[in-house]
Amino acid sequence: MRKIDRSQLEIKQSNVLDQWVNQHPEVVRWLGKQQRKAFCALNLYFYCYWSEKTPAELLALKDNPASKEAENLLDTFVASDVGLPESTKFAATISVRSFYKWNYRDLSRGAGVMSFQKKKPYWKPNKDDLRKVYRFCTNPRDRSIITQTFSSAIAKETLSNLKWKHLEDEWEKQDVPHIGLPPQLIKGHGVGRYKGVEQHTFITPEAKRDLIEYKAWIEQKIGRKLTSEDSVYWTTEEPYKPLDYKGLEGVIERLQKSSGVNFSLHDARRYVETALEEIRISPNWARKIRGRKVKGEEAPYSRPAIEQLREKYREAVPLLEFTSEKPTVTKEMIKEEVSKMLEDEKLKPIADKYHITIEQVKVMMRTKGKAWLDKALKETGETATNGGCAMHNCQRVVSESELENLLAEGYRVAAVLPSGKVVVEATA
Q: Say yes or no to pLDDT of 274 above 80.
A: yes
Residue 277's identity, in one-letter code, is E
For the stretch 26-55, what's the b/e string if a residue is b when 16 or more beta carbons lie within 10 angstroms of its beta carbon?
Answer: bbeebbeebbbbbebbbbbbbbbbbbeeeb
How many angstroms separate the CA atoms of 232 and 414, rounded?
44
- 377 confidence band (pLDDT: 50, 70, 90): low
Q: Say yes or no to pLDDT of 385 above 60.
A: no
Q: Which residue has the higher pLDDT, 278 or 374?
A: 278
How many angstroms separate the CA atoms of 215 and 140, rounded?
9
* pLDDT at site 12: 92
Q: What is the pLDDT of residues 131-183, one digit of tens each?
A: 999 999 999 999 999 999 999 999 888 999 999 999 999 999 999 999 998 88
Is pTM, for the whole model, over 0.75? no
How many angstroms separate the CA atoms of 349 and 389, rounded?
9
Q: Which residue has the higher pLDDT, 290 or 27?
A: 27
How many angstroms separate the CA atoms of 233 and 268, rounded?
18
- 1 confidence band (pLDDT: 50, 70, 90): confident
* pLDDT at site 327: 59
- Per cent of the chain over pLDDT 70 is 77
- 333 confidence band (pLDDT: 50, 70, 90): low
CATH number of 127-320, picked from 1.10.443.10, 1.10.1740.10, 1.10.10.10, 3.40.640.10: 1.10.443.10
Per-residue HEC secondary structure of the chain comes to CCCCCHHHCCCCCCCHHHHCHHHCHHHHHHHCCCCCHHHHHHHHHHHHHHHCCCHHHHHHCCCCCCCCHHHHHHHHHHHCCCCCCHHHHHHHHHHHHHHHHHCCCCCCCCCCCCCCCCCCCCCCCCHHHHHHHHHCCCCHHHHHHHHHHHHHCCCHHHHHCCEHHHECCCHHHCCCCEEEECHHHCCCCCCHHHCCCCEEEECCHHHHHHHHHHHHHHHHHHCCCCCCCCECCECCCCCCCECCHHHHHHHHHHHHHHHCCCCCCHHHHHHHHHHHHHCCCCHHHHHHHHCCCCCCCCCCCCHHHHHHHHHHHHCCHHHHCCCCCCCCCCHHHHHHHHHHHHHHHHHHHHHHHHCCCHHHHHHHHHHHCHHHHHHHHHHHHHHCCCCCCCCCCCEEEECHHHHHHHHHCCEEEEEECCCCCEEEEECC
Q: Which of 34-43, 52-61, 335-344, 388-397 has the highest mean pLDDT?
A: 52-61
* Residue 276: Cβ-neighbour burial (10 angstroms; 0-12, 13-18, 19+): buried
Residue 88's identity, in one-letter code, is T
Q: What is the pLDDT of residues 407-424, one digit of tens each?
A: 767 677 776 665 667 777
Look over the chain and give the mean of its residue pLDDT values, rounded to a whole number.
83
* pLDDT at site 40: 94
Q: What is the pLDDT of residues 201-258, one digit of tens each?
A: 999 999 999 999 999 999 999 999 999 999 999 999 999 999 998 899 999 999 999 9
Q: What is the pLDDT of residues 89-127, one digit of tens each?
A: 999 999 999 999 999 999 998 898 886 555 555 567 889
Asked if 259 and 146 touch (Cβ cutoff 8 Å), the reply is no
- 373 confidence band (pLDDT: 50, 70, 90): low
Residues contacting residue 412 through CB under 8 Å, at least 6 positions apart: 424, 425, 427
Q: What is the pLDDT of residues 37-71, one digit of tens each?
A: 999 999 999 999 999 999 999 999 999 989 999 99
Asked if 108 and 83 touch (Cβ cutoff 8 Å), the reply is no
Stretch 377-388: mean pLDDT, rounded?
47
- Where in the chain are the domains? 6-102, 127-320, 331-426
Q: How far is CA 102 from the centre of its chain?
A: 28
Residue 382: how many other CB atoms lie within 10 Å: 11
Q: Say yes or no to pLDDT of 276 above 80.
A: yes
* pLDDT at site 78: 93
* pLDDT at site 113: 85
